[in-house]
Amino acid sequence: MNWGSWLLWGFLATIALTTLSAGAQGAGLTRMSFPDVLGLAVTPSRDKAKVYGFLLHFVLGLIYSLIYVGVFESLHMANWWVGALIGLAHALFVLIVVMKLLPSVHPRMASEHYGPTAKRVLEPPGVLALHYGVQTPLAVTVSHVAFGVILGAFYHLR
């Protein structure tokens, strides 16, 4: 494992992922914001949630990149298309599994079955996060594939 390369490209890939997600949100393609959703899990203050969420998202990005790098090392190959494939799998996992589980684990997210309560008021993402806009699956997929492409293309195997 090349720790220096992981740290550098994991960091830059996370920057790219965050920028693409925020860009898609700003362009009105999606209302999905991982930093907002993560941050609101730890504080109800929207302003603080943005900051905490951004930091959490960053840490998670580095952790995920560790998994990508682990796959590269086990395959003994790291290139853009392998990265893209892992990114695609990652995006599908997020859209299909994480989004489904989110209302159950997020302390401020409303349940589709029971509706909102005094504490749980956030709109749940729905299937493939489509509640956050019909282009959300596309935005999530593109940003995660870009994350994988950067890691795959630039990570140096040990």
**In the complex, what is the shortest distance from the CB of residue 115 to other proteins, in angstroms, rounded to a whole number?**
3
Window 52 to 91, contacts with other proteins (CB under 8 A)? none
Residues in 129-158 that interact with other proteins by CB under 8 A: 131-133
- Nearer to other proteins (CB atom), residue 27 or residue 67: 27
Q: Is 19 in the site for other proteins (CB under 8 A)?
A: no
Alpha carbon of residue 37 to chain centroid: 11
CB of 59 to other proteins, least distance (A): 21
Report in angstroms how near the CB of residue 154 gets to other proteins at its nearest: 31
Residue 45: C-alpha distances to residues 37, 53, 108, 120 (Å): 12, 11, 12, 14
Find the shortest distance in angstroms from Cβ 61 to other proteins. Answer: 20
Cα(94)–Cα(73) distance, rounded to whole angstroms? 23
Cα 7 to Cα 138: distance, rounded to the nearest angstrom? 27
Q: What is the C-alpha separation between 105 and 89, in angstroms, rounded?
A: 22
Least separation, in Å, of the C-beta of 82 and other proteins? Answer: 33
Residues contacting other proteins: total by CB under 8 A: 31
27 or 55, CB closer to other proteins?
27
> What binding mask, one character per residue, do residues 86-125 give for other proteins by CB under 8 A, x or -?
----------------------x-xxxxxxxxx--xxxxx
Q: How far apart are CA 91 and CA 124, in angstroms?
A: 18
Whose CA is closest to 65, among 100, 15, 25? 15
